[in-house]
Amino acid sequence: MSSSSLHRQAVAQIDRGADLIGLAPQYRAILGQPKNEVIVNFPVQLDDGTWRSVRGYRIQHNNILGPFKGGMRFDEGVDLDEVKALAAWMTIKCSLVGLPLGGAKGGVAIDPSALSEDELRRVVRRFTAALGSNIGPDHDIPAPDMGTDARVMDWMMDTYANMSGPERRNSVKGVVTGKSIICGGSVGREEATGRGVLYALRHWCGEHDRVLDGLDIVVQGFGNVGRHFARLAAESGARIIAVGDHTGAIGDPSGLDVHKLGLHVDEHRGVAGFGAADVIDDLFAVEADVVAPCALENQITESVARNLRCEVVVEGANGPTTPEADAVLAGAGIDVIPDVLANAGGVIVSYFEWLQNRSARAWSADDVDERQRSMMWDAADAVSAAAAEYGASYRDAAYAVALARLADTYDRRGIFP
Ligand code: GLU
C-alpha cells in the first residue's frame, strides 16, 4: 500500500478519534479492516459486438449497527484501496448520525460517460447479478455515488427483483436506495446530500454568529452534491462566487446565477464556457467565507490549504482534505465541517427511503425535510459538544462520537463467539 493510500488515511482518522475516547484495542482492530471484500469480474458486450471484462467491488466494512449501507461509484479510477476507505467512512457516518445501518461502498472501474445507455444498463445488470446474494434489503443496501444516479439504481433494483422469487419481487425494492420516485424512491433523495451540506453549514453559522444570507461561497463540483448545495445556498441568500469542476472554473464576485449555470452544465457537461462569468485559474485561491469541496477525495492538499482564504471548509465530498492539509487548516484557524457530518444528508434520506419501502408508504416532502433536518442538527450538536469537551477539531470530535456509539454496541453485544 502506498503512502498515499486512502484507506490508510481513513484508518488514521479512526485512530485519532479512538485516541480521544480511549477506544479498546479490539475495536480498533475490527474497524481497521472491512469485514468483507467482494471483487467480481464480469463480461459485458459493447454495442460494436466486442466484449470487455469489467471489475466491480463491494466492500462491507461493518454491520454491528445494522445492514451494510453505502453508494456505488462508477469511475475509471475506482480501486480496492479507495472503496475500502469510502466503506469505512460510511460506518462512521451512519453511526455519527444515529442510523441503524452499517458501512459499505462499491463501484465499477469504468467511465460511465464513455458508454451508451444500453452498454451502461448491461454493466449494471451483470454487476448486480455477479454480486448475487452479497446485497439484499436486510443485508447490504447500495445507493448512488459518483457516476451513478436514479436510473442506475432502478436497474439494480429491477435486476435483483427479477433474481428473487416472484412472491418477493415487490418486497425487495429496498435492496437499493436513490431510486426514481415512481420505482420506489423517496422525495428529496436526489438533493438530500446538498441539502444536508447546507444544514451543516447553517449549524456552524449559528455557533459562529454568522448568517447564510450574504456569505460568499466557493464550490468545487457541480454534480450530485455541489449542484443542489449551490442552488439551496443561493436560495438562502448566500453568494456562490466561484464554481469549478473537471472542465475548469468560473466565477463572479457578485454571485453566479446558479439556475442558469445548471442549464449550461446540462447542455455542455461542465461549467467551462459559462458566458456570464469570468474564467478562474485557481479555484481554491478565491477569497470567500466558505469553501465547499463537493467533488473528489484529496482535493485540498497541504499546498492548497496554505492558499485557502476562507473561514470554514464544508466537505460535501468524501475525503476531500488530506491529513496534512487538516493540520495546516487547524494552524490557520480555518474550521473544517467534516465529510462524515456534512454529507450525511444523503444516507439519512436513503434510510427514509428504505423505511418507506418496508412499510409501502410514501412520506411527504415536509416529513422528509423535517426529519432530515432534525437528524443532521442532533449530529451537529453532538459533534460541537465533543469538540468542546475534548478541545478537538470537528473531524476528530465526529469520529469520537461515532466510535463511542460503535463501542457501546460492541460492549453490550460482545464479540462473537
Ligand atoms: N454515496 C453517498 C455517501 O457517500 C450516499 C450513500 C447512501 O445513501 O447509502 O454518503
Question: pLDDT tens for residues 354-390?
Answer: 999 999 999 999 999 999 999 999 999 999 999 999 9
* Confidence band, pLDDT 50/70/90 cuts, at residue 276: confident
Question: What's the first-to-final CA gap in the chain, in angstroms?
Answer: 31
Locate 121 and state its grid cell.
444498463
The 3-state DSSP class for residue 217 equals strand
Any idea what DSSP says for residue 140?
A: E
Are 272 and 248 within 8 A, CB to CB?
A: yes
Give bridge partners of residue 245 from the DSSP assignment.
Answer: 248
pLDDT tens string 71-109: 999 999 999 999 999 999 999 999 999 999 999 999 999
Q: How far apart (Å, rounded) are the C-alpha atoms in residues 289 and 314?
A: 11
If you average pLDDT over residues 271-290, what whole number do you get? 95
Q: What is the atom index within ligand 1 of the atom nearest the CA of 93?
A: 10
Strand pairing category for 68-74 and 239-245: unpaired
| Alpha carbon 140 to its chain's center | 17
Nearest 5°: the CA angle 195, 196, 197 is: 90
Locate 108 and state its grid cell.
465499477
Q: How far apart (Å, rounded) are the C-alpha atoms in residues 224 and 257?
A: 18
In the numeric block, the cell 486512502 is attached to 6
Nearest 5°: the CA angle 410, 96, 234 is: 170
CA atoms within 13 A on the CB side of 197: 31
Locate 15 and state its grid cell.
485512530
Locate 391 and state its grid cell.
478541545
If you average pLDDT over residues 118-133, what whole number do you get? 98
Provide the pLDDT for residue 1.
36
In the numeric block, the cell 458566458 is attached to 275
Q: How far apart (Å, rounded) are the C-alpha atoms in residues 304 and 100?
A: 37
Residue 393 scores a pLDDT above 70: yes
84, 105, 173, 179: which one is catalytic? 105
Provide the pLDDT for residue 2.
41
pLDDT tens string 324-340: 999 999 999 999 999 99
Testing ligand 1's pocket by substitution, the residue of 157, 350, 357, 375 carrying the most ligand atoms inside 8 A of its CB is 350
Q: What is the atom index within ligand 1 of the atom nearest the CA of 72?
A: 1
Structural domains of the chain sorted by starting position, each given as residue range(s) with its CATH number in brackets: 6-171 (3.40.50.10860), 192-337 (3.40.50.720)
If you average pLDDT over residues 205-210, what whole number do you get? 97
Residue (of 305, 299, 349, 329) closest to 395 by Cα position: 329
Q: How far apart (Å, rounded) are the C-alpha atoms in residues 396 and 377?
A: 18
Annotated active-site residue 105? The verdict is: yes
CA atoms within 13 A on the CB side of 26: 7
Are 147 and 86 within 8 A, CB to CB?
A: no
Residue 217 scores a pLDDT above 90: yes
Locate 298 and state its grid cell.
484529496
Q: SS3 sequence, 45-82?
A: ECCCCCEEEEEEEEEEEECCCCCEEEEEEECCCCCHHH
The 3-state DSSP class for residue 254 equals coil
Q: How far apart (Å, rounded) are the C-alpha atoms in residues 109 and 132?
A: 19
Strands laid side by side in the 248-251 sheet: 278-279, 248-251, 239-245, 216-220, 290-293, 312-314, 335-337
* Confidence band, pLDDT 50/70/90 cuts, at residue 110: very high
> In 10 A of CB 10, how many CB atoms?
25
Q: How far apart (Å, rounded) are the C-alpha atoms in residues 194 and 52?
A: 35
Q: Calculate how far, in angstroms, residue 148's C-alpha sits from the geometric centre of ligand 1.
A: 11
If you average pLDDT over residues 2-25, what whole number do you get? 92
The torsion angles phi and psi of 275, rounded to 5 degrees, stand at: -60, -40
Q: Calculate how far, in angstroms, residue 345's C-alpha sits from the geometric centre of ligand 1.
A: 8
Are 394 and 338 within 8 A, CB to CB?
A: yes
Locate 22 and state its grid cell.
480511549
Q: Calculate how far, in angstroms, residue 128's C-alpha sits from the geometric centre of ligand 1.
A: 18
Q: How far apart (Å, rounded) are the C-alpha atoms in residues 190 and 122?
A: 23
Q: Which helix (H) or strand (E) holds 220?
A: strand 216-220
- Ligand 1 pocket (Cβ < 6 Å) reads 69-71, 143, 145, 177, 318, 343, 346-347, 350
Q: How far apart (Å, rounded) are the C-alpha atoms in residues 61 and 84?
A: 7
Residues sharing a CB contact under 8 Å with residue 167, sequence separation 6 or more, in sequence order: none
Q: Calculate how far, in angstroms, residue 251's C-alpha sits from the geometric centre of ligand 1.
A: 29
Residues sharing a CB contact under 8 Å with residue 41, sequence separation 6 or more, in sequence order: 53, 54, 55, 56
Are 309 and 288 within 8 A, CB to CB?
A: yes
CA atoms within 13 A on the CB side of 108: 29
Average pLDDT, the chain: 97
